[in-house]
Amino acid sequence: MHLQPPAAASSPLLKNLNPEQLAAVTAPAEAALILAGAGSGKTRVLTTRIAWLMQTGQVSPGGIMAVTFTNKAAKEMLTRLTAMLPVNVRGMWIGTFHGLCNRFLRAHWKLAKLPQSFQILDASDTVSAIKRVIKAMNLDEERFVPKQVGWFIAGCKEDGHRPGDVVAHDEQTRKLVEIYANYDDQCQREGVVDFAELMLRSYELLRDNAAIREHYQQRFRHVLVDEFQDTNKLQYAWLKMFAPPDSRSGQSLIAVGDDDQSIYAFRGARVGNMADFEREYRVQQVIKLEQNYRSHGHILDAANELISHNSQRLGKTLRTDAGQGEPLRVYEAASDFAEAQWLLEELQSLYRGGLVRQEMAILYRSNAQSRVIESALFNAGIPYRVYGGLRFFERAEVKHALAYLRLLENPNDDTSFLRVVNFPTRGIGAKTLETLQDLAKASGRSLYQSVSAVPGKGGANLVAFANLIDSTRNLTQGHTLREIIEQVLATSGLMDFYRTDKDGAERVENLEELVNAAEAFVTQEGFGKDAVALPVDEVAEAGTPGATPDAETGEIMSPLAAFLTHAALEAGDNQAQAGQDAVQLMTIHSAKGLEFDAVFLTGLEEGLFPHENALSAHDGLEEERRLMYVAITRARKKLAISFCQTRMLHGQTRYNVKSRFLDELPETSLKWLTPRNQAGGMGFGSGFSRDYASAWERGSGLKSMVGAGRVEQKAAWVEPPLPPSLRQKVSEEHGGLRVGKGVFHTKFGEGVLLTLEGSGTDARAQVNFGRHGVKWLALSVAKLQPID
DNA sequence: GGGCGCTTCTTTTTT
DNA sequence: AGAAGCGCCC
């Protein structure tokens, strides 16, 4: 044990910390790995450590860097920190990886070879930029799907590879690398960077410029990283630039993470970074936060038992002082429709019991599952909120407006140019644009710079467009951000377009909301005196060798440029009827980091969860299990799990086997609401008739209520499966086997019968054996036993 | 240039 | 089933 300064021991900050938390908060200023289980007070530990370090005079605000993945987490940290300690957060670097990279590149734009007001491409901008490259190269979009090319490029960048570093063994890859190279050139020409580029560019600058690197190493004494299990290769390398292993300058890098909650390997996260970190930094002691302050006992028991089925773990078991609480409720529904109906009942009963809707969450593995649930909630008049989907700054009308704004800042941004050059339409067609692009390409200029070279009517229209941009820029010179945006909405014709559009009302609202958002941004960021988002960070700039501070010119980044950056870096909220007490619907992925009193975990079916596509991926099943672990640990008091015998997916009915994850939960913590079925498959036995009858009754009842006013919802209703009487007719001839019913095979075990075909010796059956897959069997050979 | 209809796809996603 | 993108035709 190291000695603590006396002031520290008595600090009120350290009150009420458990021993492990205390150890983490007051860990010596070196590398440390904190394994923080779900609900173990991770954010509290992080913020308290920062506060404690400053309070005990071990570091000044300028010496702190804390990195998170989401803006939400970063904000949370700042909020808590300022509540703990009256501190000037201005000098601290607290933010997302990308946010901090942006800050870094804004300060060193010249060395990074970027224009001062470079703009950031979001995911869809990136795809359209790539599309243009593929088109320009005359390549087939079938063979080079822009989105996939995007993954490839992002993947390369996240491995730290520039086009020249990629080893291509086949023709396809060689072409991909070529696209990558052209794409990078195009971005550079247009003065834009994508998300991965933000990281890579900062990393390279740090790597290649010793003076800058050393400056930042001197500056940041304490680097703290949240959700370390989600970092990719590049992010880890980037962190090492700030706080290298074996650092003689005595910095402290603290990684906080939970390997059991690593659910983003599919997009490049490397859990292995945790083990690498431990080794490379010679971490003396891994601090485990295993005391859980969130969930009741049964819930934790279930989580612990489930995750123990994973082999590759650093090892950690959550415990709680709260009581056992209620066991997990498990419900088997006849159909996805019936599952939704059951959810309604459960939600209503909780609501009557006094629980607010905000505290109820319905989680699912894939977005497609939400539809049935949504229509049930909608028709029952229960307010709900769906996370995911389009976010504010991603809406088409908002992106159009932003494109105009970006052109004011940088007319050479071809992506933005193409987006709005003919929207609203101004007589500039594909032909004209083709000519323009050819000319631009030939002369190495931007589209904007080439407008006057295009002959004819189209050319004239293009010049008019360029003039429109120029005059708007002149017109808004020296105006407030609000005025600029209002002006752009007017002169571009966007507002008029949507006003006259028959269903443009919502879009008009969103454009008005954009003005509000800009107003709020200006106020929050306090433009004029204390702007946190300002690119120029005096602390960083002062004495940074090679820095190109705006002090040279006295210029600061314009509010517009800053707002555009903000829009790209923070896509804003999803459509949310904020303020209303609503049930929360979301995928398990988006539930990470959240918690609710009551959680409904739906669709626990083989093929859906674990998802069939995940099983083929390396480590896929274990990642799915971690996902299940994340889902379980979202619940504080009540957790219910449901699965369906049949589900409509991609337009056809699927017969499912219950998820293997259900078998990995401790029996003693479960309370089955439906008879626990003997078969892995469930069959339409006793349980079915009852479920079916009630689902049908309610279904038809609701249907008649749907009536005229809500036609659009009607289509979303899923019919309950055929009545059992009908089903039996289909298959009586095959010794009691029935479609949709459970069967037993001596080798493959339990399954659900999907199809019966042919007769006599020719009879075949298709059976879903869950983890053994879907198989065709000859009935004359296979011994299939019906299960009731 | 706009609208209609055909095809294709459908795990998870932040920045 | 349903959305979204794409291409064709007016």
Is residue A336 part of the annotated active site? The answer reads: no
Q: Answer whether residue A699 shows pLDDT above 60.
A: no
E-assigned strand segments in A711-783: 742-745, 749-757, 764-768, 774-778
Q: Mark the nucleotides of strand B covered by protein, meaning any atom under 7 Å from a CB.
A: 1-2, 10-15
**What proportion of chain A, given as a percentage, has pLDDT over 90?**
55
Q: How far apart are CA A63 and CA A497, in angstroms?
A: 51
Task: Annotate A416-467 with three-state secondary structure.
Answer: HHHHHCCCCCCCCCHHHHHHHHHHHHHHCCCHHHHHHHCCHHHHHHHHHHHH
What is the token pair recorded at A69?
């993945």
What is the C-alpha to C-alpha distance for residues A286 and A475, in angstroms, rounded to an integer?
Answer: 60
Contact A607, A406 (CB under 8 A): no
Shortest CA to C1' contact from A368: nucleotide: B10
Per-residue pLDDT, A406: 93
The answer to whether A334 CB sits below 7 Å from nucleic acid chain B is no
In chain A, positions 711-730 with C-beta closer than 7 Å to nucleic chain C are 715-716
Whether CB of A611 is under 7 Å from strand B: the answer is yes
A658 CB contacts (<8 Å, ≥6 apart)?
A: A332, A604, A605, A606, A643, A677, A680, A682, A770
A226 catalytic? Reply is: yes
Bond into A28 cis (ω within 30): no
Do residues A604 and A306 make contact, with C-beta atoms less than 8 angstroms apart? no
A247 marked as binding residue: no
A159 is catalytic: no
Taking the C1' atom of B12, which residue's CA lies nearest?
A589
Please check if A36 is assigned to a binding site: yes
Kindly report, residue by residue over A541-597, the tens digit of the pLDDT: 444 444 444 434 445 678 898 899 999 998 877 655 556 889 999 999 999 999 999
Q: Are A437 and A447 in contact (CB under 8 A)?
A: yes
A86 versus A657: which is more confidently predicted?
A657
Q: Which nucleotide is nearest to A717 if distance is taken from CA to C1'?
A: C1
What's the N-to-C CA distance of chain A in angstroms? 62
As beta bridge partners, residue A286 has: A33
Nucleotide nearest to A124 (CA to C1'): B15
Q: Exactly one of A157, A634, A658, A741 is catalytic; which is it?
A: A634
A142 beta carbon to strand C: under 7 Å: no
How high is the pLDDT of residue A652? Answer: 84
What's the confidence (pLDDT) of residue A457? 84
Q: Is residue A500 a known part of a binding site?
A: no
Q: Is A210 annotated as a binding residue?
A: no
- Would the annotation count A562 as a binding residue? no
Element (H, E) at A469: helix A456-475
User: From CA A604, how far away is CA A585, in angstroms rounded?
Assistant: 16
CA of A467 to C1' of C7 (A): 32
Q: Are A212 and A543 in contact (CB under 8 A)?
A: no
Please give the Cα distance from A410 to A399 (Å, whole number): 16
* Per-residue flag: A505 CB under 7 A of strand C: no
A366 a known binding residue? no
- Mean pLDDT across A223-242: 96
Amino acid at A309: H
Residue A96 approaches strand B within 7 Å at CB: yes
Work out the average pLDDT over A245-250: 76
- Strands of A180-293, DSSP E: 192-193, 222-225, 252-257, 286-289
Q: Which nucleotides of C are covered by protein (CB under 7 A)?
A: 1-2, 6
The A 422-441 residues near strand B by Cβ under 7 Å are 422, 424-430
| A403 has binding-site annotation | no
Pick out the nucleotide with least CA–C1' distance to A131.
C5
Residue A397 above 80 pLDDT? yes
* pTM for the model: 0.84
Strand B lies under 7 A from the Cβ of residue A266: yes
A147 touches strand B (CB under 7 A): no
Q: Which nucleotide is nearest to A650 (CA to C1')?
A: C1
Is any atom of nucleic acid chain B found less than 7 Å from the CB of residue A140?
Answer: no
Q: Kindly name the residue from A55, A96, A261, A369 that is annotated as catalytic.
A: A261
In this prediction, residues A644-669 reach a mean pLDDT of: 92
- Give me the torsion for CA of A94, A70, A410, A108, rounded to 10°: 30
A742-765 pLDDT tens trace: 888 877 888 888 777 766 666 778
Known catalytic residue: A634?
Answer: yes
Average pLDDT of the segment spanning A177-187: 93
Give distance CA A28 / C1' B14 (Å): 32
The predicted pLDDT at position A594 comes to: 94
Given A190, A227, A339, A624, the catalytic residue? A227
**Which residues of A in 623-682 have their CB below 7 Å from strand B's atoms?**
627, 650-651
Cβ of A651 less than 7 A from strand C: yes
Does strand C come within 7 Å of the CB of A141? yes
Catalytic position from the list A20, A125, A158, A226: A226
Quickly give A502 CA vs B5 C1' distance in Å.
22
Which residue's CA lies closest to nucleotide B9 at its C1' atom?
A650
* CB distance A585 to A370 below 8 Å: yes
Report pLDDT digits (tens) over A513-551. 999 999 988 887 654 333 333 333 443 444 444 444 443
Q: Is A742 labelled a binding residue?
A: no
Average pLDDT score, chain A: 84
Q: Please report which confidence band the pLDDT of residue A124 belongs to, taking 50, 70 and 90 as the band edges.
A: confident
Rounded-to-integer distance, Cα A321 and Cα A293, Å: 8
Span A46-62, pLDDT tens digits: 999 999 999 999 999 99
Which residues lie across from A65 on neighbouring strands?
A93, A223
Residue scoring higher pLDDT (A4 or A669): A669
Query: Residue A694: pLDDT band by 50, 70, 90 thresholds?
Result: very low
Residue A455 Cβ < 7 Å to strand B = no
Candidate list A21, A42, A320, A636, residue with the active-site label: A42
pLDDT for residue A682: 41
Buried b (16+ CB within 10 A) or exposed e, A231-258: bbbbbbbbbbbbbbeebeeebbbbbbbb
Active site residue A652: no
Distance in Å from B10's C1' to A608's CA comes to 13
Å from the A187 CA to the B7 C1' = 32
pLDDT of residue A349: 96
